[in-house]
Amino acid sequence: MTFGWTEAAADGAARAGTLDTAHGPVATPVFMPVGTAGTVKAMTADQVRTTGASIVLGNTYHLMLRPGADRIERFGGLHKFMDWPGPILTDSGGFQVMSLSALRTLDEDGVTFRSHLDGSAHRLTPEIATEIQHKLDATITMAFDECTKFPATADEVRSSMERSMRWAGRSRAAFVARPGYAQFGIVQGGVDPELRARSVAALLDIGFEGYAVGGLAVGEGQAAMFATLDATVPHLPRDQPRYLMGVGTPDDLVGAVARGIDMFDCVMPTRAGRTARAYTRHGTLNLRNARHQENQGPLDPACRCTACTRHSRAYLHHLFRANEMLGPMLLTQHNITYYQDLMRGLRNAICSGTFETHAAETRASWAAGDLG
C-alpha cells in the first residue's frame, strides 16, 4: 500500500483524481468535515459516512489536551476511538495554539502555552506535534508551522515563513514513514507571491507526500486568496495532492478547485448548521427566519439528506426556535451533505470536461437565491 494521488482527469487547472491511503481511497477534489475533538459535532460516524464524506479531520491541539494522545493510542488510535475506519488528517496544533490558548510564548524551538480548558502548561515543537499525530494514528500528518498573524508587516511574514520552513524540516525528520501514510508540508508566506514561491521551493527540498497552502482565509479576502493561489499552485508538483487549509464557503471551494486545489477542510458547514444557517443550491438561508414558520416544503428539494427528505422547513424552524438539539443535528447533516454533493458535482464536471459551465451554473443558482 503506497500513499499517492493519481490524476483521473483535468479541465483547465482543475483536476480530479484519487488519493490512495492505508485507510482507503479518497476521490478528489474532496471536502473533509472537521472532527475537532474526535467527533464531527452533532453527527454520529454513520451519519458522516452517509453524507458521502470519505475523510475527516482531527485537531491535535484539542485531542492532546483532552482526552490526551496517550489515551487515544492505548485505544488503538483515533480511527478506533471515534469509530471512523476511513482516512483521518490531523492538523499540527499550531493554528489552535495561536487562536485559542492563553499565555503562549514562541521561541525558535517551539511554543509553550496554557490550555484554554484548565490553564495547565503544555509545549508543542515540530517533534512533539509529529509524535502526537503518530500516536493518534493520523493517515495524513501535517508539519508543525507557525501561524503567521494577519495583518503583519513584510518582515514579520518573511521571518515567520522562514521559521515555518525550518520547522518543516524538523517535522519531516520526526515523521515515521509507514506504507499508506503521509505527511504534508505547509506553504506559508502571506499574500506575497515571491515568499510563497520560496516557501514551495524550501518544502520541495525537504520532500513531502503532499503540500498544503496555509495562512489563507485569515481576513485577506477572497480576491487576495485567489491571487495567492494563482501565484502558488503552479509551483507545486503536478503528481501530488494539494490541500487548501481552513477554506471555505461553497464559492471559495469552486474558485480554488478551478485553480488546482484537491483538498479542503472548514468548520463553516458544521458551525453554521448549529446556528440555523443552511447552505443550499440556492444560496444560504437562516431557518430561524419567520418566513419559514408555515412552510411545508423541504429545505432543499434536490437534497437527499434526512432534513430535506423527511422534514419541512416549518419543522426545522420550530426546532431552532425551541432550542431542540435535533435542529443542529439535522442541519449539520444537511450542510455536510450539500458540501459533499457540491464536490461530487465538481469532480463529475472535471471528468466530463464541463467544469467552467458547471461552475457558472452553480454560481448562477446561488445568485438566483432561495425561492422557498
Binding site for Zn ion (CB under 5 A): 303, 305, 307-308, 334
* Closer CB to Zn ion, 281 or 347, in the complex: 281
CB of 310 to Zn ion, least distance (A): 10
CB of 331 to Zn ion, least distance (A): 9
What's phi and psi for 209, nearest 5 deg?
-80, -15
Distance between CA atoms of residues 256 and 244, nearest Å: 8
Catalytic residue among 11, 137, 265, 341: 265
Distances (CA, A) of 33 to 138, 264, 320: 15, 9, 22
The amino acid at residue 122 is H
For residue 46, indicate whether it is catalytic: no
Assign 358 to helix, strand or coil. helix
* Closer CB to Zn ion, 307 or 342, in the complex: 307
* Closer CB to Zn ion, 314 or 351, in the complex: 314
CB of 306 to Zn ion, least distance (A): 8
Q: What are the beta bridge partners of residue 7?
A: 17
Distance between CA atoms of residues 261 and 241, nearest Å: 8
CB of 280 to Zn ion, least distance (A): 8
For residue 265, indicate whether it is catalytic: yes
User: What is the 3 state secondary structure string of 312-353?
Assistant: CHHHHHHHHHCCCCHHHHHHHHHHHHHHHHHHHHHHHHHHCC
CB of 305 to Zn ion, least distance (A): 3
HSE-CB at 230 with a 13 A cutoff on CA atoms is: 7
Short-list 369, 332, 360, CA closest to 254: 360
* Closer CB to Zn ion, 26 or 305, in the complex: 305
Assign 280 to helix, strand or coil. strand
CB of 296 to Zn ion, least distance (A): 16
What's phi and psi for 277, nearest 5 deg?
-95, 125
Distance between CA atoms of residues 263 and 33, nearest Å: 11
Catalytic residue among 91, 137, 252, 262: 91
Q: Is the peptide bond before 241 cis (omega within 30 degrees of 0)?
A: no
* Closer CB to Zn ion, 95 or 366, in the complex: 366
Is-contact 172 196, C-beta < 8 A?
Answer: no
* Closer CB to Zn ion, 215 or 298, in the complex: 298
* Closer CB to Zn ion, 167 or 366, in the complex: 366
Per the structure block, which three cell numbers stand in for 186? 505547509
CA dihedral 339, 342, 347, 352 (to 10 degrees): 170
Stated as kind and residue range, the H or E segment containing 256 is: helix 250-258
Q: Which residues are catalytic?
A: 91, 265
